Amino acid sequence: MTHPDSTRMTHDIELGPGSEFDLIRKLRHHWGPLAVSIGDDASILNVPRGERLVVSTDSALEDVHFRREWLTLREIGYRAVTAAISDIAAMAASPAGVLVALQLPGDLTDIEGTLLELADGIADAVRAAGTVVVGGNLARGGSAPLGITTTAVGSVFNPLTRAGARPGDLLYVTGALGGPAAALKSLTAGLQPNAKLRERFSRPAARVAEARWLAAHGAVAGIDLSDGMASDAGHLAAAGGVGLEIAIERLPVFAGATPDDAVSGGEEYELLVASRTALDEGEFKARFGIELTAIGRAVEGSSGATFTRAGKRVAAPPGYDHFSR
């Protein structure tokens, strides 16, 4: 242990000799034009003049965030990077690049094959979000499970924050909810979810362009639903110092999922936004091919998120509390 079993990914410049750099060279070649401006101790990026920098980091860990038997390596790479991009998308930022820190098990035999499959998924994710890989790190050893920590970097002129909601704002949600939760229920029970649910779980989309449209058309606060509607609506309410009233029967439910999945399921990258003005759902659907649905409003008081069914308040499933299990 006189030296780390780890190396930063370098790119675009000549690399020194050694098998670790061979792996990086292979990743570089594999990614082609999807990996740019990597090539030094650090990577250099330009932020458009007048825009602010937006950064977020997110980890996906084997047997904590995913199971190898449920997803291919390519899907694992895709989901990990998409989750991080979703965090900056939720602020209406345009991604400028991602850095991917890969952690490989010490007893992994097919290092190159594993890396290239993960790399395919990472490529899928940055391609889908219109961005590139700008850096990373490779570490291997010990009892480490497979892990991907992604930092997404982007920029925005007018960020959509969690704290922007005010009483009277209208609440909207993109897409349809509960699909990932329904897929996970099947997988946990040892069953295969149907193809659409499986796809929904394995290939979520970060709503990059959608968030920018929403921010440009009146949205003043936003959050992605990675913790699920019940939990994330609570975050939006707490951050804004407002109450949120959401009609459960208005929540768009993904085909094959239940309303409960839609309320409490997480791993969802749809957006919940508060808008000062009414948004044009038809234009949104025409432009992005997914629904935009009005689901409630922000009210006075610090009452958190409350859910109604047929006008009556119902107890929402509690938000998931990761550290209390």
Q: For residues 169 and 221, is the Cβ–Cβ distance under 8 A?
A: yes
Stretch of 47-55, 124-132, 197-205, 286-294 lying at the interface with a copy of itself (CB under 8 A): 47-55
Q: How far apart are CA 152 and CA 55, in angstroms?
A: 6
Nearer to a copy of itself, 125 or 152 (CB): 152
DSSP 91: T
Nearer to a copy of itself, 195 or 324 (CB): 324
Q: For residue 109, state whether it binds a copy of itself (rule: CB under 8 A).
A: no
Stretch of 28-36, 129-137, 191-199, 274-282 lying at the interface with a copy of itself (CB under 8 A): 129-137
Lateral strand order in the sheet of 292-299: 219-224, 271-275, 170-174, 292-299, 243-247, 305-309, 312-314
Q: For residue 190, state whether it binds a copy of itself (rule: CB under 8 A).
A: no
Task: Please give the single-letter amino acid code of residue 216.
Answer: A
Q: For residue 286, state whether it binds a copy of itself (rule: CB under 8 A).
A: no
Among 72, 114, 137, 186, binds a copy of itself (CB under 8 A): 137
Q: For residue 5, state whether it binds a copy of itself (rule: CB under 8 A).
A: yes
Stretch of 4-12, 28-36, 196-204, 309-317 lying at the interface with a copy of itself (CB under 8 A): 4-12
Q: For residue 101, state whether it binds a copy of itself (rule: CB under 8 A).
A: yes
Long-range pairs for 277-284: beta carbons < 8 A, 24 or more residues apart: 277/170, 277/217, 277/218, 278/170, 278/218, 279/170, 279/172, 279/214, 279/217, 279/218, 279/219, 280/217, 281/172, 284/174, 284/210, 284/213, 284/214
Q: For residue 32, state whether it binds a copy of itself (rule: CB under 8 A).
A: no
Nearer to a copy of itself, 109 or 311 (CB): 109
Q: Report, in Å, the least distance between residue 281 CB and a copy of itself.
A: 23
Nearer to a copy of itself, 3 or 312 (CB): 3
Q: How far apart are CA 84 and CA 95, in angstroms?
A: 10
Q: For residue 191, state whether it binds a copy of itself (rule: CB under 8 A).
A: no
3-class state of residue 274 by DSSP:
strand
For residues 255-284, which are near a copy of itself according to CB under 8 A?
Answer: 265-267
For residues 63-92, which are near a copy of itself according to CB under 8 A?
Answer: 63-65, 67, 86-88, 90-91
Q: Report, in Å, the least distance between residue 94 CB and a copy of itself.
A: 12
Q: How far apart are CA 118 and CA 60, in angstroms?
A: 12
Nearer to a copy of itself, 153 or 215 (CB): 153
Q: For residue 252, state whether it binds a copy of itself (rule: CB under 8 A).
A: no
3-class state of residue 46 by DSSP:
coil
Among 77, 178, 204, 228, binds a copy of itself (CB under 8 A): 228
Backbone phi, psi, residue 140, to 5°? -145, 140
* Alpha carbon distances (Å) from 235 to 54, 89, 159, 169, 243: 19, 17, 17, 16, 10
Nearer to a copy of itself, 240 or 296 (CB): 240
Binding mask 150-189 for a copy of itself (x = CB under 8 A): -xxxx-x--x-xxx-----------------x--xx--x-
Q: How far apart are CA 294 and CA 289, in angstroms?
A: 16
